[in-house]
Structure 1
Amino acid sequence: MSRPTEVTYDYIKQRIMEGDYKPSQKLNESELSEVIGVSRNTVKKALLKLEQENLVLIETNKGARIKSFSLEEIINYLEIRETLEGLIAKTAAPHMTEERLLLLEETFEQMKGHLENNRFDEYSKCNQTFHAIIYEASTNQQAVEMVNKIKNQLKRLQIKTILIPGRTQDSLKEHQKVLNAMKSHDGNWAEDAIKHHIAQVRKALAENYTFLV
């Protein structure tokens, strides 16, 4: 991917992830070309890459629009993610070094601080870091690649779960259990803890789907 295409791809993807573009919203190639300062051909290449990642849908004679997901699709993706995250956690726990555990605990404490001060954006970022530390310790990096693809597709929706009353407090408790499991180096405990967490995310999204989309 050329540098202009990469810049264009990153620009559009970031706006999708942050929810600036809404599900099913049309993307105007001419406007994007002007805003980003690249050719329309460059925009087309970036959109094709995003389509491969299932973030954009390109239709003949209709152009590109943001991919939308039905509740059934979201539930299916999260069921897959639950299984993958469980495998990742199980293979990561025995390999959590003291350095990684310290970093994991520091990240958890930051999450607590951000939640206490209603800094939800920062809480969300630390949440991503928390999971990334575990991913790095896993011996199954293929599972990590797969789960990251799923997270990319659902990130703009999952970020909104912080708006669900009580969800962030429950999420913090779930992360505490994951942290404790990682400290024990018990793969089965870690698997159960992370799968419970993802199951609760799935439950929250299912119960609040209309509110979040």
Structure 2
Amino acid sequence: MAKLNRTVTVYEQLKEKIENGSYSPAESLPEVELATEYDVSRNTIKKALLMLENDFYVTLEPNKGAKVRSYSKKEVLDYLQLRVELEGFIVRLAVPQFSDEDISRLEFIFQQMGVCCKNNDLLQYSALNQQFHAIIYDVCPNRAATDLLLRLKAQMRKYNGKTILVPNRDTRSHMEHGAILEAIKRRDPIQAEAKVRAHVESVRQTFDDYFSLLF
């Protein structure tokens, strides 16, 4: 049991570093160095890396070892195409469940996003953007859909925040979130779905246009 716990601990720590960008896409993960860093056996590292491979965080190649998984432009665009469908489905189910308090929280976050746009605070804008969508996910009654989306977003976390670096993307994003918020306030699930889909499609188009500059 202790060995299993150590493996899970290393797995979780490596996964967090991949998700937060401490390890870059395609970066090598040498077993010997990791074993020294985490003060565990190479066998424990091997098991943790296998778990990460199963969850699509790393790739394992014979005689080459492990690397952080990287994604091609097509793979990122395919992922965003799937996000269009999932995000739209989730918000459509969520809208009838929104309380006045939930909407007030969205309004406050939206206002703070506007402040970030004025101050060119892209890092904080991205954090608020995540909080805005997290409220929608929390309200949605279909946990299978939200869990699937959150797993996908975690795997692609290194890519998710890149579009905000495109000039004026924060302003356009803020307008798109405003349209989503207005549809939610009107308790209109069809319009909310349409606005969310348009927002993610806009993100996808930005990736398509600027991918070579962002990566």
TM-score between the two structures when normalised by the length of structure 1? 0.92
Quick one: distance in 1 between partners of 2:19 and 2:118? 25
Aligned CA distance change for structure 1 residues 75 and 101 (closer, same or farther; 3 Å): same
What corresponds to 2:75 in structure 1?
73
Once residues 52 and 190 of structure 1 are traced to their aligned partners in structure 2, the CA distance between those partners, rounded to angstroms, is: 35
TM-score of the aligned structures, taking structure 2 as reference length: 0.91
Q: Which residue of 2 aligns with 1:161?
A: 163
Q: Which residue identity lines up with residue 157 of structure 2 in the other structure?
A: K
| Counterpart residue type for residue 114 of structure 1 | C
Give the secondary structure class of the aligned counterpart of 2:67: strand
CA distance in 2, matches of 1:209, 1:63: 28
Matched-pair contact (CA < 8 Å) for 1:47–1:56: yes
The alpha carbon displacement at 1:7 in A equals 3.4
Residue 52 of structure 1 and its aligned partner are, at CA, apart by 1.9
Aligned match of 1:97: 99
Could you list the structure 1 runs, at least 4 aligned residues long, displaced by more than 4 angstroms after superposition: none
CA contact (8 A) 1:157 1:212 kept: no
Cα separation, 2, equivalents of 1:52 and 1:115? 39
Q: Secondary structure at the match of 2:156?
A: helix
SS in 2 for 1:64: strand
What one-letter code is carried by the residue in structure 2 that aligns with 1:122? Q
Aligned residues: 213
Query: How far does the alpha carbon of each residue in 1:119-166 deviate from its partner, in whole angstroms, 9 at most, with x for none?
Result: 322221211111110011112221111111221122201212121111
Q: Which residue of 2 aligns with 1:14?
A: 16
Residue by residue over 1:11-55, the C-alpha shift from the partner in whole angstroms, topping out at 9 and shown as x without a partner, is: 322322232322222111221222233333332232222212212
For residues 66 and 141 of structure 1, what CA distance do their matches in structure 2 show? 28
* Residues 1-213 of structure 1: pairs in structure 2 closer than 5 A: 2-213=4-215
Unaligned runs of 5+ in 2: none
**Structure 1 portions without partners, runs of 5+:** none
Deviating more after overlay: 5-14 vs 125-134: 5-14
Report the AA paired with residue 86 of structure 1.
G
Q: CA deviation at 1:3?
A: 4.2
* Aligned AA (1:67): R
Separation (CA, whole Å) in 2 of partners of 1:41 and 1:104: 47
- What RMSD over aligned residues (CA atoms) do the two structures have, in Å? 1.8
Q: Secondary structure at the match of 2:196?
A: helix
**CA 32–117 in structure 1, closer or farther in 2 if over 3 Å, else same:** farther
Q: Deviations over 1:47-105 (max 9, x none)?
A: 22221221211122221101111111111111111001000010001110111111111
